[in-house]
């Protein structure tokens, strides 16, 4: 085994030169980073710094990068169709709520499965959906409740369960703790730790910094489409560049 083989075996996701422009705006500007299998990479940054655009460009949902390479387990995935990227093992949740309000919790998860696991029988897909809701701790008694009737924390569990139903190796979570109470944030922290214990690699965008710093192995901070700091969370949040980027914003 060569040194580069050894290095690639410790990298599940390698992003290189990723760029997304909107007209003159470089929302994601030549971003490169690696993610190790099983790690939680926290991603912070002021509003509009390009965090969600980074997730969009990696997953191609809803748009592709303008330039750059995404290697997943050593294979280029940036040219795959979005559902093939998901099937390969990269699943995501959205910053905005993405549940179907009129569908039940279980039907929301089934819909996600049917979009990527074509060919599975309905009965098999129902079992997978039930398992995914169990994995995220969604109460079995509420499987048939319409999403619109559920409190926000449970709707977030439906979103994460829909992603977990794809049996991902990497899960991209975009602000899972937004709009939650402190007690719910603690439950979200426990869920994220559980998913890590199940060997899911996680990229976690979050503005709730105590959650982000407590759960992340490394923290990456973005500003104006670029990475301005990367490393151990405690050191990164004291980095002068990070403090300056957040000036005027409580961190």
Ligand X SMILES: Nc1ncnc2c1ncn2[C@@H]1O[C@H](COP(=O)(O)OP(=O)(O)OP(=O)(O)O)[C@@H](O)[C@H]1O
* Residue with token string 């104006």: 224
**Binding marks (x or -) toward ligand X, 229..248, rule CB under 6 A?**
--------------------
Residue 168 binds what, of Mg ion, ligand X, none (CB under 5 to 8 Å, by partner type)?
none
**Residues numbered 10-29 forming contacts with ligand X, rule: CB under 6 A:** 22, 25, 27
Regarding 224 and contact with ligand X (CB under 6 A), the answer is no
Residue nearer to ligand X on the CB measure, 93 or 125: 93
Residue window 87-116: x/- pattern of binding to ligand X, with contact defined by CB under 6 A: --------x---------------------
Contact set for Mg ion, span 91-150 (CB under 5 A): 95
Q: Please list every residue from 53 through 82 that binds ligand X, using CB under 6 A.
A: 53
Q: C-beta of 120: minimal distance to Mg ion in Å?
A: 32
137's contact among ligand X, Mg ion, none, with CB below 5 to 8 A by partner kind, is none
Q: Does residue 6 come out as left (phi exceeding 0), alpha (psi in the -120 to 50 range) or beta?
A: alpha
Structural tokens at position 205: 């965008």
Residue 21 binding result from ligand X, Mg ion, none, given CB thresholds of 5 to 8 Å by partner type: none
Can residue 52 be called a binding residue for ligand X (CB under 6 A)? yes
Q: For the chain, how are helix, strand and coil distributed in percent, rounded to 5? A: 40, 25, 35
In terms of Cα–Cα distance, which of 66, 53, 61, 68 is closest to 85? 61
Q: What is the 3-state secondary structure (H, E, C) of 92-121?
A: ECCCCCCCCCCCEHHHHHHHHHHHHCCCCC
> Coil, strand, or helix at residue 182?
helix
- Asked if 47 is part of the footprint of ligand X (rule: CB under 6 A), the reply reads yes
Q: Which helix (H) or strand (E) holds 28?
A: strand 25-35
From candidates 31, 33, 44, 52, binder to Mg ion by CB under 5 A: 52
Q: Give the nearest distance from C-beta 206 to ligand X in angstroms.
A: 10
Helices within the chain (DSSP H only) = 3-9, 51-59, 82-88, 105-116, 122-135, 152-164, 182-197, 209-215, 233-236, 240-245
What does 27 interact with, of ligand X, Mg ion, none (CB < 5 to 8 A by kind)?
Answer: ligand X
Q: Are 224 and 54 in contact (CB under 8 A)?
A: no
Separation CA 88–CA 15 (nearest Å): 16
# residues near ligand X by CB under 6 A: 12
- Residues near Mg ion, by CB under 5 A: 51-52, 95
């Amino acid at each position: 085994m060569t040194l580069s083989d050894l290095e690639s075996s410790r990298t599940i996701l390698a992003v290189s030169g990723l760029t997304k422009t909107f007209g003159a705006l470089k929302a994601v500007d030549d971003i490169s980073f690696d993610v190790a299998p099983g790690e939680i990479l926290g991603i912070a940054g002021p509003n509009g710094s390009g965090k969600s655009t980074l997730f969009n460009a990696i997953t191609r949902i809803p748009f592709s990068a303008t330039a750059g390479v995404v290697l997943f387990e050593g294979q280029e995935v940036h040219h795959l169709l979005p559902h093939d990227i998901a099937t390969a093992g990269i699943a995501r949740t959205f910053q905005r709520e993405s549940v179907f309000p009129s569908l039940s919790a279980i039907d929301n998860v089934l819909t996600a499965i049917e979009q990527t696991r074509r060919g599975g029988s309905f009965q098999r897909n129902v079992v997978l959906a039930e398992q995914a809701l169990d994995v995220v701790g969604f109460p079995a008694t509420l499987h048939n409740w319409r999403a619109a009737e559920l409190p926000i924390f449970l709707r977030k569990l439906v979103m994460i369960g829909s992603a977990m139903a794809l049996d991902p190796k990497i899960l991209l979570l975009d602000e899972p703790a937004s709009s939650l109470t402190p007690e719910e944030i603690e439950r979200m922290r426990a869920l994220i730790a559980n998913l890590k214990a199940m060997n899911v690699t996680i990229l976690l965008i979050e503005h709730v910094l105590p959650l982000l710093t407590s759960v992340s192995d490394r923290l990456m901070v973005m500003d104006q489409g670029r990475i301005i700091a990367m490393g151990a969370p405690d050191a990164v949040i004291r980095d002068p560049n990070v403090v300056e980027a957040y000036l005027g914003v409580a961190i």
